[in-house]
Amino acid sequence: MTFDPSTLFAVFFYGFAGLLVISALRVITARNPVHAALFLVLAFFCASGLWMLLKAEFLSLALILVYVGAVMVLFLFVVMMLDLDLEHLRRDFKKFLPVAFLMGAVIVLELSIVIIRSFIGTNAPVQPMPEEVMANNTQALGMLIFGEYVYAFEVAGVILLVAIIAAVALTLRNRKDSKSQNIHEQVNVVAADRMRIVKMGSDMAAKQDARGEKK
């Protein structure tokens, strides 16, 4: 009896794919937000397994380390610490259902256009890479990101930086327990508003000096 590696590959591939679809559906259908976050972690693990089977080791490990190890754990702790009003969310679920269906249809349409244009009617040749680079997908990915797509990568980094600064600014806006500078007021400051000259007699000054020495 001979062992066929393609059969084992197919078993793992369809197993990860089926579990990914089920966990993704449970993310949007689970009533408890904590359970939804845990199903999202499971979906990330399944997607990582699929990428590992497709020999994209860097993307697979990055998905586990970045999303599962950092983002999702932080999100899970935030969800567990927040006192969410589940009854209010369930009561308003039907009100936002048409908007959700509309956004879902737009996303499906966009993905369909991308997939159709990627596999149908495309005759552009693929630029081959050296064999020593193709043997290491991490090196090949690095050469593409920091070579051919370096400007797009830098623009994405600037956009993410602006988003982080905007999120921090919106969080600290109009809070009484946070200190911030008003640049407009600092630039338009007038000396008369900040300093006042008071004329005092010699007797009054001597009395205040004596009071200061007693203290």
In a domain? residue 24: yes
The residue range of the domain holding 47 is: 10-85
Where does residue 210 rank: exposed (0-12), middle (13-18), buried (19+ CB within 10 A)? exposed
In a domain? residue 178: no
In a domain? residue 62: yes
Q: Are residues 80 and 136 in the same domain?
A: no
In a domain? residue 202: no
**Structural domain total, the chain:** 2
Give the CATH number, domain containing residue 40.
Answer: 1.20.120.1200
In a domain? residue 43: yes
In a domain? residue 188: no
In a domain? residue 1: no
Give the whole-angstrom CA distance, residue 46 versus residue 188.
58
pLDDT in tens for each of the 215 residues of the chain? 455 667 888 888 899 999 999 999 998 888 777 788 888 888 989 999 998 888 888 888 888 888 887 777 777 777 666 656 666 666 767 777 888 889 889 998 988 887 787 666 655 555 666 666 566 777 777 887 888 888 988 998 899 899 888 877 776 666 666 666 777 777 787 777 777 777 766 665 556 666 655 55
Give the whole-angstrom CA distance, residue 167 versus residue 164.
5
In a domain? residue 192: no
Total-model pTM: 0.56
- The answer to whether residues 48 and 72 touch, using CB atoms and an 8 Å cutoff, is no
Give CA separation, 197 vs 121, 194, 211, 212, in Å. 81, 10, 21, 20
Q: Label residue 121 left, alpha or beta by phi (over 0 means left) and psi (-120 to 50 means alpha).
A: left
